[in-house]
Amino acid sequence: MRHAHAEWPGYSGEDFDRPLTPRGLADAAAAARAMRAAGHVPDLLLASPARRTRQTAEVVVATMELPSSVLRFVDSLYNGTASTLARELQRASSAGLVLLVAHNPGISALAQKLSEDPACPPLPPAGWGCFSAPASP
């Protein structure tokens, strides 16, 4: 899942601290409801510790009424490459269904790789997909 819509370009603080907009908060909740309706309820949620990804993940947990223990913040996910994101998914592969909340371009590049479709479009804010875990290196 890509984090939901965040303040930009008018935000004057550090990139790490950019918050979700009201639209972003609503979109994150809508995405969580759609995931649940599709039967995709995560056993583990890994998220970048940046404010916008943290907020997105917390909205998902609250909307799906998941225990807070499913949520883990992983420093390497902040603006991580597709390879970095895949490595974190591999580490968590025994956890069951894992939801990864991260940033573009890494999250979209990973989705494209996992979909095995070179025409897979980039994930929009709050966009998500369900894929098989990447194979171990």
pLDDT digits (tens, 9 = 90+) for 70-119: 999 999 999 999 999 999 999 998 889 999 999 999 999 999 999 988 88
pLDDT digits (tens, 9 = 90+) for 27-75: 999 999 999 999 999 999 999 999 999 999 999 999 999 999 999 999 9
Q: Return d(Cα 65, Cα 77) in angstroms, integer.
A: 24
According to DSSP, residue 64 is labeled T
* Higher-pLDDT residue of 13, 33: 33
For residue 51, the Cα-to-chain-centroid distance in whole angstroms is 13
For the chain, domains (ranges, CATH) are 15-115 (3.40.50.1240)
According to DSSP, residue 52 is labeled H
